Amino acid sequence: MPMPATKILVVNPNTTVSMTATIAAAARAVAAPGTEISAVTSSMGPVSIEGFYDEAFAVPGLIQALLQAPDADAAIIACFDDTGLDAARSVAPFPVVGICEAALLTAGQIAKRIAVITTLPRSIVPLEELVRRYGFAERARVTASNVAVLDLEKPGSGAAKKLDAEIARALEQGAEAIVLGCAGMADLAAALSQKFGVPIVDGVAAAVKQAEALVGLGLTTSRRGSYALPGVKGYSGMLQPFAPKA
């Protein structure tokens, strides 16, 4: 009798459907034989997430997507800001993996010094705050390639060249591995790794393996302390439908 499949939900918390396709392909490329990837696009919020403001508006759509998939075994939030990760862990009935956290802890097992290369400069500080929260402040450095998220998908935008240049600069300054700091770069890791001869870690792929790991270990979010289930409380206005059920 075959083992039941591990069902991993990948949520793209921005509302750009074409980016979800890129992400889903990257996830499937590394999924184990018994893993089923289902990728969904958030139904509301910004078309791309660049900085604190977009991030805040992406969370309700993300939570909605998670609560609509109660039979998943694990979920991945496929934006490098780890948008809404703590809120998601507080209500999802399965473990939730962030692609920034997954990428850093993967890279940290194969290198001491890590360069995180993101899109626009405005994302540097939010990512530095994540890096610090995950304990990598002394090991990882965040820089920007000056490529807008949606330009990653546009031929002729010069995105690839700018990213190359930023990777080269990071290696000169002592980086031992590169983390691609945007879910929209998920399809580039393999070629870049080949080109530069160093480990290039894509967060979507890394997160798939962390999700498989947690499911395989039978572990899920602790309900003591920080992630205790929210009580049943009143909600007003149009956000009411997503309030957790008792």
Residue bearing tokens 């160093």? 198
Least spacing, CB of residue 160 vs its own copies, in Å:
21
Find the shortest distance in angstroms from Cβ 71 to its own copies. Answer: 19
Cβ proximity to its own copies: between 69 and 199 the closer is 199
Q: What is the per-residue binding string for its own copies in 76-115, x denoting contact by CB under 8 A?
A: --------x-xx-xxx---x-x---xx--xx-xxxxxx--
**Judged by CB under 8 A, does residue 232 bind its own copies?**
no
238 binds its own copies per the rule CB under 8 A: yes
Q: Give the shortest CB-226-to-its own copies separation in angstroms.
A: 4
Six-digit token pair at 170?
């990071």
* Alpha carbons 55 and 138: distance in angstroms, whole number: 25
Site size with its own copies, rule: CB under 8 A? 99
Residue from 4, 70, 156, 234 in contact with its own copies (CB under 8 A)? 234
In the window 20-39, what residues touch its own copies (CB under 8 A)?
30, 32-34
Q: Cβ(205)–Cβ(79) under 8 Å?
A: no
Residues 112-151 that bind its own copies (CB under 8 A): 112-113, 121-122, 124-126, 129, 132-139
Spatial CB neighbours of 62, under 8 Å, sequence gap ≥ 6:
11, 13, 42, 45, 77, 83, 84, 88
Kindly state the tokens that stand for 226.
Answer: 């920080």
Name the minimum Å distance from CB 122 to its own copies.
Answer: 5
Binding of residue 158 to its own copies (CB under 8 A): no
CB 126, min distance to its own copies, A: 7
Burial profile 75-101: b = 16 or more Cβ within 10 angstroms, e = fewer: bbbbbbbbbbbebbbbbbebbbbbbbb
Under the binding rule (CB under 8 A), the answer on residue 67 touching its own copies is no
Which residue from 175, 180, 185, 186 is in contact with its own copies, where contact means CB under 8 A? Answer: 175
Smallest separation, CB 8 to its own copies (Å): 13
Residue 222 in tokens: 């602790």
- Residue 71 or 138: the one with the smaller Cβ distance to its own copies is 138
Confirm if 181 and 123 have CB atoms less than 8 A apart. yes
Q: What is the token pair recorded at 22?
A: 């890129």
Please say whether the beta carbons of 182 and 144 come within 8 A.
no
Q: Which is nearer to its own copies, 22 or 227 (CB)?
A: 227
Q: Restricting to residues 178-207, which ones interact with its own copies according to CB under 8 A?
A: 190, 198-199, 201, 205-206
CA distances from 204 to 101, 112, 155, 174, 201 (A): 10, 21, 22, 25, 9
